[in-house]
Chain A
């Protein structure tokens, strides 16, 4: 699909100490997403969901920008070839990636530097936690090319910004700077650019110390809550999960460690 088979990999995939690091690697194109990059991201996230040796996922990018969205050159080539439908590309490439990130029951941390625009912003917002460089900014670039926000953006953004601000940024395409995003709760940490990877690494390290089953089920329970479940439904769901988690060794270990005033050692059992 991508013409750059001889070039260095557009997407770097590496697993180290339980963390699957997925790095967008087209710095010359500011990491614009090609269809094959999205296929690679989706496949890697889905595979990580089934791989017990992967405990958390990092999505990061090389160079000065995180990602300006879809590779418009890619899109133009497909449009010129005829029979092309943007909606179909969303269904076949973008939506599966967003769905995979939301449904994988492991923490997905995103490290954002520079611009995260269009589907690149959607990709960042689909992750569970975001660490940003000070100069990072999120831009809903869609209206400038005559499109609506996609890849889940119309679902994610109002949850942080509310309706009015979401529409303003969607209509005008004005950037949301990192500090402002922090105020909204859209991002978890803002750090100096040179500390970005280290800060993301520290956050991941903390997550790896937590009991994995509880981490997984908390993500699922919060996902479910955002899908418009009622308080009654959520409380019942919590009861079901707790009934199961209450029988795990990690729960027993956590309680023992608390009572014995020591650090717990969780095994995912």
Chain B
């Protein structure tokens, strides 16, 4: 089920894992508009593919992505032109949150600007020790436009988000781990295998419960607590109608491994 995307984005599968890799290492995986479109299409394809249970999104060793293709901004002469040209593209990463399937960003090297935004839009981040996160847009007279100020603040808190967005401070992988921006930091050599191992773990879980858990955690970031709790409760009950819930309970009581059907 590998569709031929733009050659700048590689799309493959490994069993139940969908793999999307930015492939413009010569420009540190700058996110041109066509590349953003291709990534979004690849993710949409995996979301539709019933065989896929989790997705790993990666870059290359020097850069996950160093950000937007700045050259594309030059022709946009005012705010109106920018909004018209960029609106649909800047909202693309919102789709990742709406996917039922979990998406893991495997980050090595630079995740700056749009690259940092893309990583943060994913559900989990596995970082190489070489990873560097930052939102340096202010230095060229703009701010993050694809969720950077919002997702970063929710991930690391106000103090650090302010410093990163206003002064361009970068975070090392270790700092990112300490501040809760990433899930784990691994040796550069083992980034692909560790990211895939996490994806396989997710793929082995009952998918309807995974999707419900993902949506509930996502809502915790947006909703007042009472509404979040109400959503959680509803989703919890709804899962009692699934075959995998029956199988999960039965296998637990019978002390055997569950065999989930995905229904």
Q: Determine the main DSSP class of A at the interface with B.
A: helix
Q: Closest CB-CB distance, B262 to chain A, in whole Å? A: 30
Note all chain B residues with C-beta closer than 8 A to A244.
187, 189-190, 193
By a CB distance below 8 angstroms, the chain A residues around B194 are 240
Interface status of A4 (Cβ within 8 A of chain B): no
| Docked CA distance A243–B194 (Å) | 10
Interface presence of B119 (CB below 8 A): no
Chain B nearest CB from A254 CB (Å) reads 18
B104 touches A (CB below 8 Å)? no
Residue of A nearest to B187 (CB): A240
| Chain B: minimal CB distance from A175 (Å) | 36
Q: Considering the complex, which residues of chain A in the window 188-245 have a beta carbon less than 8 Å from any beta carbon of chain B? A: 217, 220, 237, 240-241, 243-244
Q: Which residues of A contact B189 (CB under 8 A)?
A: 217, 240-241, 244
Residues in A whose Cβ lies below 8 Å from that of B193: 243-244
**How large, as a class, is the contact surface on chain A?**
under 10
Which parts of B151-201 form the interface with A (CB within 8 Å)? 186-187, 189-190, 193-194
Contacts of A235-269 to chain B: CB distance below 8 A: 237, 240-241, 243-244
Residues of chain A contacted by B187 (CB below 8 angstroms): 217, 220, 237, 240-241, 244
Interface size on B, residues (CB 8 A): 6
Q: In the complex, what residues of A have CB within 8 A of residue B190's CB?
A: 240-241, 243-244
Q: Beta-carbon contacts of A71-108 to B below 8 Å, as 1s and 0s? A: 00000000000000000000000000000000000000
Docked Cα-Cα span, A243 to B186, in Å, equals 12
Task: For the complex, give the distance between the alpha carbons of A161 and B89 in Å.
Answer: 58
Interface-central residue, B187, B190, B194, by most chain A CB under 10 Å:
B187
Overall SS of chain B's interface: helix
Across the two chains, which residue of chain A brings its CB closest to B174?
Answer: A227
Residues of B within 8 A of A220 (CB): 187
**For residues 187 through 220 of chain B, which have their beta carbon under 8 Å from a beta carbon of chain A?**
187, 189-190, 193-194
Shortest beta-carbon distance from A225 to chain B in Å:
13
A221 closest partner in B (C-beta): B187
Per-position contact with B for A136-152: 1 when CB-CB < 8 Å, else 0?
00000000000000000
**Complex: chain A residue closest to B191, CB-CB:** A240
Give Cα A112 to B60, complex, Å.
Answer: 41
Q: Give every chain B residue within 8 A of A243 (Cβ-Cβ).
A: 190, 193
Residue among A217, A220, A240 facing the most chain B CB atoms (10 A cut-off):
A240
**Chain B residue contacts of A241, Cβ below 8 A:** 187, 189-190
B193: nearest residue on chain A (CB-CB)? A243
CA distance A237 to B187 in the complex (A): 7
Closest to B190 in A: A240
- A24 and B193 CA atoms in complex are apart in Å by 44
* Complex interface: chain B residues within 8 A of A217 (CB): 187, 189
Kindly report which residue of chain B lies nearest to residue A213, judged by CB atoms.
B189
A217 to B189, CA, bound (A): 10
- CA A243 to CA B190, docked complex, whole Å: 8
- Per-position 1/0 for B231-251, Cβ under 8 A of A: 000000000000000000000
Tell me how far the C-beta of B128 lies from the nearest C-beta in chain A, rounded to whole angstroms: 11
Say how far A230's CB is from chain B's closest CB, in angstroms: 13
> Which residues of the partner chain A approach B186 to less than 8 Å between Cβ atoms?
240
A217 to B193, CA, bound (A): 17
Question: Which single residue of chain A is at the shortest CB-CB distance from B194?
Answer: A240
Chain B residues near A240 (CB, 8 Å)? 186-187, 189-190, 194
- The smallest beta-carbon distance between A219 and chain B, in angstroms, is 13
Bound CA span A37–B190, Å: 37
The smallest C-beta distance from A149 to any residue of chain B, in angstroms, reads 25
Min CB distance, A257 to chain B, in Å? 23
Which single residue of chain B is at the shortest CB-CB distance from A227?
B174
- Closest residue of chain B to A220, judged by CB? B187
Contact with A along B48-88 (1 / 0, CB 8 A): 00000000000000000000000000000000000000000
Q: Which of B186, B190, B194 has the most CB of A within 10 A?
A: B190
Taken together as a complex, chains A and B put the C-alpha atoms of A241 and B193 apart, in Å, by 11
- Distance, CA A217 to CA B188, complexed state (A): 11
Q: Closest Cβ of chain B: how far from A234's Cβ, in Å?
A: 12
| B172–chain A nearest beta-carbon distance, Å | 11
CA distance A241 to B190 in the complex (A): 7
Cα–Cα distance between A244 and B187 once the two chains are bound (Å):
10
**B189 to A, closest residue via Cβ:** A244
Nearest-neighbour CB distance to chain A for B40, whole angstroms, equals: 32
Can you list 15 pairs linking A and B with CB atoms under 8 Å apart? A217-B187, A217-B189, A220-B187, A237-B187, A240-B186, A240-B187, A240-B189, A240-B194, A241-B187, A241-B189, A241-B190, A243-B190, A243-B193, A244-B189, A244-B190
Can you list the 3 inter-chain pairs with the closest CB atoms, starting with the nearest? A244-B189, A240-B190, A240-B187
Known: A217-B187, A241-B189. 16 other contacts (CB 8 A): A217-B189, A220-B187, A237-B187, A240-B186, A240-B187, A240-B189, A240-B190, A240-B194, A241-B187, A241-B190, A243-B190, A243-B193, A244-B187, A244-B189, A244-B190, A244-B193
